Structure 1
Amino acid sequence: MAEIKTKANEVSVDDFLEAVEHPQRRADGKAVRAMMERVTGEPATMWGPTIIGFGSYHYRYASGHEGDMCRVGFSPRKAELVLYVGGFPEYEAMLARLGTHKRSKACLYIKKLADVDADVLAEITRRSFETTIDQCNAC
């Protein structure tokens, strides 16, 4: 089995954010970091080379695959911010109030923070973090 590359490490979150080339993405990344630290009460930690995560949990699949991952996180990618949130019952309704975004099963994509409602994004983050804690406690 291949080694999991997305794990917590000692890379500086400040250095990573300062190295983001796109000035808007860098500023938005700093703002999302501050919001996620405030909402989760957890410090920002690098997970793998590009994900800034908050908190951690252990998962185990029926296949036997297991590992650790951040409870919520984000990455200031070249094209957009990618947020690793979701997984709670009211998620769809909250996305309808969020503003301009795209999504996949596990990710929320935002071009710039000015396009979304900051309060809704903070609530999505809070609910995602709490839901992950609840799922962890059920393991």
Structure 2
Amino acid sequence: MTPFAKFLLVTAALLLAVAVMLGAFGAHALRNLVPEPALLTWQTGVLYQFIHALGIALLGVFVLLVPQLPFAKATGSFFLVGILCFSGSLYALVLTEWSWVGPITPLGGLCFIVGWVSLAGSLFRLPTRPS
């Protein structure tokens, strides 16, 4: 296993574990502390963290199969920054009501989009074999 593939897979596993903990925290501890719209915001952060942590895991598997996958580091970086900006800003907004974090959320969403397009570009650049 390459160090980068290992990094991606370990990072994904940890992000998924944290997503489970944050989901449980939202469902149990926050339920009585914040209004329903804030709970929905929290759940959105958790959902996007789950999806993109799975994206990082998928990228790790691709890197195991093709160690020199084009754009792999960029893709992983965009997913990770996207989780920190998108989900992180939503968590901060719910817990602190800091309105200034609101503009960070779309930047995280943009990172997610660029990450998925980067992954598509990586896969597109791979040579194909006749079946």
TM-score by length of 2: 0.38
Q: Which protein, 1 or 2, shows the higher relative CO under an 8 Å CA cutoff with sep ≥ 6?
A: 2
Which of the pair is proportionally richer in strand? Answer: 1
- TM-score normalized by the length of structure 1: 0.36
Determine which structure has the larger helix proportion and give its number: 2
Larger radius of gyration: 2
